[in-house]
Every structure is written in structure tokens, then in C-alpha cells.
Structure 1
């Protein structure tokens, strides 16, 4: 039986090879997975032209996945350096990479990325449009925007952020309800500016059926962008954000009618006390579609440390229903991240995702913690390093400060609770001030 997309296959009762792979990775019943995909609660972003893909599922009942943002810009257009970041991200086993390139040889970088990456690849086509056509934003036509979407799909991109929810109606709400930080989404601000400059409707909203044609043809998952996400905790959960979310829910149903898979993008900056409510709102208004969040960043005071503010919010968001976390690096709001910035962002996001998976009761999550706790109790340093989320850093810290006794560390020495409890539980004496018997 033929099918066009993973959702189409799922609705027809077909088990695809991608479903088989995800079922095995997640240790879940394949029929349950198929049903979740048919209902839109799980997506498997898998473009037919992405031949190197090792598929992942995103959504209800699955491990929380993380995404890494990369790409060249006008100020930092070194393709080789960005490819180094790609290799490092893949080494750290990220499930997704978004190419946010906005200048220069974007297609060259995108094709290399897709060819080498087993991780799913996402893009934001509007970022690419200005450079692709070498035109100012105002002069790009609706048809030209759609051609960039098709080009990305043809290249093999698995999911695309499409800012279709910032239509003229949403824009009116935004104008009537002033914000401290206006529209901080880069794609959202570009669409809003294009609408204002041309006095026209958002082309991605007006021609959404044409976007669906492209996505159905290549099985591209639409990641419905949150143009009105809050850029400060002052602006969170306001009229603009909620109005756009309602529109995204309507667009989700239209996509599902065409068997196009959908994710919903979410906030943004917000206080801890608002996160759980926002997760419930998204799932309700968008009919259970997987939720992809940036952060949330829970305080605005920590430039240089936003991988931490984001990890705090990400853990709470994912434990409350978010399915996919976009990493944030220490360089957020400050510069294009370095490889080290990227690594710190990945590790922080992976910690948040895993902490949430424990809370959600995801199969196998707590077992990892059990194994490392067992190694810690046994003072098995090598086993601890092997199990650590960042073995390189754990091993380096240990080697930089060697204890007198190998069964301890330089924090506690012979007062180590693990060491002494192991001895006492075996009926042995504890010698702290002198050598052991």
C-alpha cells in the first residue's frame, strides 16, 4: 500500500521502517506508536531525500529530544567552522540540528549538513530568502518565499519553522497590546515587517495550502513558529502570544487533514510559575501536537549564563508536557556561539531533558541514574566516567586534583562517606588520621 507521509501511513495502518526504528529506540509498542502518529501526538520528521537520517520520534510518551542551532551569518560566515560544530554536536548525540544560516553559500552548507547528519535537520526558510534572492525583504514576493520552502524540502530538510500564525489579525492584537520587547522572534519580526511594508497578509498564512503541498510531497514536518513568543518575562502569556497559539491550533488541523506532520513552537521567556500553565494551554489549543520550546528562559538577568536559565525552564516545561527542547548557549543574546559555547548548551539541555524524562516516567530513564549511583557507591571512578553525561569533563576534573588515596577525592579525602560506609558495613575499622591497618 502506498503512502505520502508518516502520518498518512499511520492512518492507513502501515508500519514504516522509520516507525520500527523509533519503536525499538524508545522501547514502546509499535502499534501504540503508529496510533500516536495517526493522531498527530507524535511526529517522525523524515524527509524522503534525507538518506543519512537515523529517525527519531518526538511527542507524547517518548524521550524528550533536544535541538542544536547552527549556521553561517554575515558576521560569521566560516562554513568549515560551522561544520566542526556539526561534528561535535553529532559526537554528543543530539537528535536534531537546525541550520539557521542567513548569508552566503547557504545551500552549500545545508547540503553538506544533510549528507553527513544522522540527526534530523530543521531550517527556517525565511532566514534564507534575503540572501537567496539578493533582494531586500520588502521586494521579495509571496511566490519567492514559497520557492525557498520548496528548495529546502528538495534538499532533504526534515522539518521547517513556518511563521504562519502571525497573520494580520494577530498583528492587530499585537498593536493594541504594547510589549516591552515587541516581537523578538527573528522570523516573526521579518514576517511582521514584510506585512507592514507591503500592506499584505502573511504569505505563509495566505498560501498555507501551498506550503502543505510541498510538505506532503517530501514528508516535511511543519514546525509552526511562535512569532509572538515573549522576549522578556514581562511579556509572557499575553494577548499576542495566546492569539497566535489559537491560530496555530487552527493551522494544525488543516495540516493533519493533508497528512502533514506538525510540531508547535513555544516560549520564550517566562517566570517559573507560568510554565506548567503554558504547556497545558498549548496541548489544549493545538490538540495534543508535540510542543517544541526555546528554554523557557526563566529570568532575564543572566547574559552569559542563559544555558542555565534555559535548562531550569526546560526541565520544568518538559516534565509538564513539552516534547522537544531547543538548546540555549551561554552566548544567547550576545554573539554567535563557539564550539565550547555549543557544548555547554547541549549538556545543559540534555540534563534538563533527562531530568524531565525521570519525572515523566519514561522507560529506561531512571536506570541510567541507578547505574551511576551504583558506581559512585562502589567508588568505581572509571565506571562513573563512562556513564557521565560529559565523560571528558568528569575525567578532567578528577585528574586535575588527585587525592592521596585513590578511593576518595580531594573534597573529603579519608572522610569520604562512601568510603567509610563501605568499610563500616563490612565490619572494618575506619582510620582517618593514620594509615589503614
Structure 2
């Protein structure tokens, strides 16, 4: 059973009890908020020993560090060094965003060595495999993408980013409203290119029920990627982004109905005078779900270590209204 199923059956799992101890809260509070979809504990059934991380309502802000190889530089030892640096710096979770080398070998090494929750972006591997076959990214099939998700969950990742909200409706607004920076999300750009070339709907949206079934099997938390987050202040909360946000709200409800834990990413770069509005719109649309918010670069420990911040939007919204 997933943590969400257990919570809805009024069962306090050992993971909930441990998060409650770490946070200094009543275990019943953790259970209740998980049941409501306002707290998540990324915890793949296939991983046993790790530092548990609760994310969401009333909990401390959590930090996620991104590591990963590139096509130009792929060294497992360096990735493990980055992992250790992130953990020593106090990161609560680490994402493997590798795109170079033997991706599964690298991912397994990171999962085996990590004491914190591990996340990944499966579409990167599907895209890299397409290139290795001497094909273009848009030549990968919908089945390639779904199988990548299955593989990552089997390997033991605790949460996966899937860009399900970039639909044909979003593309319509992208075409009508010219952006300064276009699509800055890497996974989102892969999917948008695929959709334009193949003239088909986003496979992650069309096959969302299958993705949920895979996630439920391993109790992997779904992180709904914001493919249309703006890379320029001038693009903030344009029609494409707002359209995607509403799609993500729909998918959040479907995820919770499937007894799968969910995080929503966003909202990207926002002008200072629009922060309050951004908080209000996002809180109202997502109804208190946990949010992953992108942070700034950090070069103190290694050149490719970047922190991201998990933050519950309700707390941040109150701050914005002060």
C-alpha cells in the first residue's frame, strides 16, 4: 500500500512516525495531511534505509540538490562526490539529472550510495536513448517514455518529474502569444518538440493513468513538472503558463484519487510586483498541494550542484500578504 492509502485508512506508518519525530509534530497531524494530499513522504518501496523527508503543510522548508552527468562529462565518481557534498551541506533530497554516460548504472550508484530521497526525470533517458540510436529526440515513441518511467521506479527512485501539463491546448497559446524565452524547461522542450513534429498529444497526458499505476506499484511520488514555467520576467503568467497550471490542478486531483502522492512544480520567474498574485493564483488553483520551487545556482561545493526548494505554498502565500 502507498503512504496515501495507509493515511486514508487511518494507519500511521513508521515513515509517518519518523517524519513526525523529525518535525516535532504529532504523528496524527502528518497522517491527516498526507490523507488530504497536503504532505508527501517520497519513499519507494524498493529502498529501505534512507533519511526520510516530509514535504508540505506545516513542515520545515526542504532543499533538493540537482546533480548529474552531461554528454561532455560523465564520471560516476564525480557524481557520488557531488552527492556527498549535497548531503553534507544538509540537502533533504537529490535529483539525478544525468544525460551522459551509462545512465542506469549512474542512477543505481547514486541510489545505492544516497541516504536521502532520490528523484529523477525519466524523459531525459528516453531522449538520450533516442539520440544513441542515431535518431532525433522527436523520434522516441510514447512507449519509450513510459518504459523509462517504469525503469526509474524499478531502480528505486523516490520521486519522478513528469511534464504532463504541456498539452496541445498549451501549444495553441504558445503559438498565439510570442514569448521572449520560449520553453526553458529541458523536459518540457523535449515534449513540445515531440508534439509539434508528430502532431500528437503529449503521451504523458494521454497515458497518465498508466503512469499513476506504475507510481502506485512502487509508492513513487509524482512531481508534476511545470514545462511552461517562464524563463523571463516578461513571460510570467502568460496564457500558456496559466493554462498549464489548470491542467496540473486537474492532474493533481487525478493523482490523489489514484492514491499516489503528488508534488507540483512552479511557478518559475515572477516579477516582484506579481509575487502576491502568483501566490494567490497558485494556492487557489492547487488547493494546498506541496510545491517544488526552483532556486538559484550554488557553486560552493561543485560547479554542477544546484539547489531547488520544496516549499508549501500556503505558508509562502501568508508571507506574501504581510
TM-score normalised per structure 1: 0.68
Q: How far apart in 1 are the matches of 2:104 and 2:301? A: 22
Kept in 2: contact 1:52–1:115 (CA 8 A): no
1:42 aligns with 2:11: no
Larger mean CA deviation between 125-134 and 167-176 belongs to 125-134
Q: Which residue of 2 aligns with 1:186?
A: 186
1:292-319: CA deviations, max 9, x gaps? 1113xxxxxxxxxxx4xxxxxxxxxxxx
Change (3 A) 1:32 1:196: same
Kept in 2: contact 1:123–1:161 (CA 8 A): yes
Structure 2 residue matching 1:285: 3-state secondary structure? helix
Structure 1 residue matching 2:82: 3-state secondary structure? helix
Q: How far apart in 1 are the matches of 2:49 and 2:142? A: 32
1:250 aligns with 2:250: yes
Q: Which residue of 1 aligns with 2:277?
A: 277
Q: Which residue of 2 aligns with 1:241?
A: 241
Q: Which residue of 1 aligns with 2:80?
A: 83
TM-score normalised per structure 2: 0.92
Richer in strand (by share)? 2
Q: How far apart in 1 are the matches of 2:118 and 2:100? A: 18
Q: How far apart in 1 are the matches of 2:259 and 2:159? A: 14
Q: How far apart in 2 are the matches of 1:201 and 1:145? A: 13
Matching residue within 57, 60, 73 for 1:63: 60
Q: How far apart in 2 are the matches of 1:358 and 1:130? A: 35
1:90-109 superposed matches below 5 A: 90-109=87-106
Following TM superposition, by how much is the alpha carbon of 1:91 offset from its aligned partner in structure 2, in angstroms? 1.2
Structure 2 residue matching 1:288: 3-state secondary structure? coil
Q: Which residue of 2 aligns with 1:291?
A: 291
The total of aligned residue pairs comes to 314
Structure 2 residue matching 1:339: 3-state secondary structure? coil
Q: How far apart in 2 are the matches of 1:282 and 1:262? A: 15
- Backbone CA RMSD of aligned residues: 2.2
Unaligned runs of 5+ in 1: 296-306, 308-327, 331-337, 362-437
Q: How far apart in 2 are the matches of 1:31 and 1:204? A: 34
Q: How far apart in 1 are the matches of 2:317 and 2:166? A: 34
1:45-91: CA deviations, max 9, x gaps? 10111223221100010000011110111012122111111111111
Could you list the structure 1 runs, at least 4 aligned residues long, displaced by more than 2 angstroms after superposition: 130-136, 338-343, 357-361
Change (3 A) 1:51 1:88: same
Q: How far apart in 2 are the matches of 1:294 and 1:203? A: 25
Following TM superposition, by how much is the alpha carbon of 1:176 offset from its aligned partner in structure 2, in angstroms? 1.1
Change (3 A) 1:192 1:358: closer
Q: Which residue of 2 aligns with 1:396?
A: none
Q: Which residue of 1 aligns with 2:298?
A: 329
Q: How far apart in 2 are the matches of 1:193 and 1:175? A: 13
Structure 1 residue matching 2:64: 3-state secondary structure? strand
Q: How far apart in 1 are the matches of 2:87 and 2:179? A: 38
1:144 aligns with 2:144: yes
Q: How far apart in 2 are the matches of 1:194 and 1:57? A: 35
Structure 2 residue matching 1:264: 3-state secondary structure? strand
Unaligned runs of 5+ in 2: none
Kept in 1: contact 2:82–2:302 (CA 8 A): no
Following TM superposition, by how much is the alpha carbon of 1:359 offset from its aligned partner in structure 2, in angstroms? 11
Following TM superposition, by how much is the alpha carbon of 1:287 offset from its aligned partner in structure 2, in angstroms? 2.0
Change (3 A) 1:199 1:265: same
1:400-415 superposed matches below 5 A: none
1:305-357: CA deviations, max 9, x gaps? xx4xxxxxxxxxxxxxxxxxxxx335xxxxxxx834467x55xx78x98xxx9
Q: Which residue of 2 aligns with 1:422?
A: none
Q: How far apart in 2 are the matches of 1:358 and 1:208? A: 29
Q: Which one has the largest radius of gyration?
A: 1
Following TM superposition, by how much is the alpha carbon of 1:360 offset from its aligned partner in structure 2, in angstroms? 7.8
Structure 2 residue matching 1:291: 3-state secondary structure? strand
Following TM superposition, by how much is the alpha carbon of 1:144 offset from its aligned partner in structure 2, in angstroms? 1.4
Q: Which residue of 2 aligns with 1:171?
A: 171
Q: How far apart in 1 are the matches of 2:227 and 2:65? A: 19
Kept in 2: contact 1:104–1:131 (CA 8 A): no
Following TM superposition, by how much is the alpha carbon of 1:272 offset from its aligned partner in structure 2, in angstroms? 1.9
1:339 aligns with 2:308: no
Bigger relative CO (Cα 8 Å, ≥ 6 apart): 2
